[in-house]
Structure 1
Amino acid sequence: MKPIAVWPIRCDALPLGQRLAAALDADLYQPWLHADETPRDQFRRQFRLHRQWVVVMASGIAVRYLDGLPESKHHDPAVVVLDEAARFAIPLLSGHEGGANALAYAVARLTGATPVVTTATEALRPLTLGIGCRRGKSTNAIEQAVMQALGQRAMAEVREVATVDIKADEPGLLDFCTRHQLLLRVIARADIAARAWVGQPSAWVREQVGVDGVCEPCALIASPRGRMIVPKTVLDGVTVAIVEDRMTHIEQNEQD
């Protein structure tokens, strides 16, 4: 048994399930092949054999599947719900302790889905970093550029990092996110092109990536109700922009 399992509820979702299982090195279940047992009963029997689950189904069905199974957030397997159209990846169980939040972002990077994280720790962090960089930039170089952009703000205020799809496997960026326990959201170039606003279009980025900019539109797309508080800053081939979630800022002020 592998730590991660993928459970598509319908055979129509098998191609999506196969793609996820291959990318995540996960076991793939096909419950429709076992007519002697209901899919729900199959799932309940297998539930604790894996540490993390990606279930491809509606959230309402997932809730019914899980009814009576959760025992403790410290021991329950993580569960991420992905709809069959791969529009939203939702951590439903064990977001922090089980790693469902991080798994949702991994699923989102693989499918183009939007991760929907509802845990309070992330919700109360107001900042999104948009980051672009030249190939091969080190973790330290990215960190220095981020710290310059943050100024007096703390890294603890950052909710997530957003970048363009061709940087999804950039080692320095991945290591930076791991170092600071930040989730990485990958934005498709087509989505960036559709939201064309950048402060200063870059001819080099247009030539290399096919869009006018990376850090600013990525941050704005990842935080759609936010406002740009730090436009593109550049340090040694790394660009950083910062967007603040206005609703989170209001909520924090009300709590204070």
Structure 2
Amino acid sequence: MSDIAIWLVRDDALPLGQRLTAALGATLYQPWQTPGDSPREQFRRCFHQHRQWVLVMASGIAVRYLDGLPASKYSDPAVVVLDEAARFAIPLLSGHEGGANALAYQVARLTGATPAVTTATEALKPLTLGIGCRRGKPLHDIERAVLSALGTRGLAEVREVATIDLKADEAGLLAFCERHALPLRVISREDVAARGWTGQPSDWVQQNVGVAGVCEPCALIASPRGQLIVPKTAFDGVTVAIVEDRPQTAVRHEP
């Protein structure tokens, strides 16, 4: 039995569930096919049979499904809620310890959803790295470029790495993210082209990728409240931009 399970509440979500099941090597549950107990009772019986869950449903339904089941963040299965339109992937249970945060990013890369991570360990880190690179760049080249761009700032302040969809399988970039336990956020070319914030457009990138730039727009799309603190910086075929998240903490009052 797979460590990951996908639970659907409607057959309308079956194509999405099947795609996730194939990509994640997961077990797919379609409770309407099992007569007898209610879907919620079926879920309660299956809950501890898997280490990680993707619940394709509204968050309110997920809360009712989980009522009374969680016991400890150190032993509970990880739970990610994904709406049927695949707009948001929300780690709802065991985000850090159980791996729901990482699973949310994985689901987001597969579906184009936005990962909505709320745990303080990750959410309070202010920096997002936008990275672009030539094909085949090794881990150490990417690492050297990132550390140079960070300067006095450290990798401990980095919340996530963002890149364009063409680089989703770039081995050196994936190895860098794995070494430093950083989630990789993949931005579609369509979104980069539509929201192409870039201060230094590249003719080479335009000709080969179809957008004016990668690292700056990807970082800014991933951190929409942020400010570009390190514009595109090139290091031997690797480009890095850094955005710092600066949320407004003051409460606004109506006049």
2 CA distance for matches of 1:197 and 1:112? 20
Residues 197 and 220 in structure 2, CA contact (< 8 A), matched pair in contact too = no
Amino acid at match of 1:181: A
Segment of structure 1 superposing worse, 27-36 or 222-231? 27-36
- Residue correspondence of structure 1 range 4-43 to structure 2 within 5 A: 4-43=4-43
Instruction: Name the structure 2 match of 1:233.
Output: 233
Instruction: Name the structure 1 match of 2:70.
Output: 70
Is the partner of 2:204 in helix, strand or coil? helix
Is the partner of 1:105 in helix, strand or coil? helix
2 CA distance for matches of 1:21 and 1:86? 14
Q: What's the C-alpha RMSD, in Å, of the aligned pairs?
A: 1.0
Write out the 4+ residue segments of structure 1 that deviate beyond 4 Å after TM superposition: none
**Residue correspondences, number:** 250
Amino acid at match of 1:82: L
Instruction: Please give the per-residue CA displacement for 1:23-46, whole angstroms capped at 9, x wherever unaligned.
Output: 000001110101211110011000
Is the partner of 2:243 in helix, strand or coil? strand
Instruction: Name the structure 2 match of 1:166.
Output: 166
Instruction: Please give the per-residue CA displacement for 1:206-249, whole angstroms capped at 9, x wherever unaligned.
Output: 1111100000000000000000000000001000000000128x
**Are 1:247 and 2:247 counterparts?**
yes
Unaligned 5+ runs, structure 1: 252-256
Amino acid at match of 2:75: H
- Residue correspondence of structure 1 range 102-121 to structure 2 within 5 A: 102-121=102-121
1 CA distance for matches of 2:224 and 2:13? 29
Residues 202 and 212 in structure 2, CA contact (< 8 A), matched pair in contact too = yes
Instruction: Name the structure 1 match of 2:253.
Output: none
In the superposition, the TM-score normalised over structure 1's length comes to 0.96
Is the partner of 2:247 in helix, strand or coil? helix
Instruction: Name the structure 2 match of 1:178.
Output: 178
Is the partner of 2:85 in helix, strand or coil? coil
Unaligned 5+ runs, structure 2: 251-255
Residues 55 and 79 in structure 2, CA contact (< 8 A), matched pair in contact too = yes
Residues 95 and 101 in structure 2, CA contact (< 8 A), matched pair in contact too = yes
1 CA distance for matches of 2:37 and 2:13? 20
Instruction: Name the structure 2 match of 1:59.
Output: 59
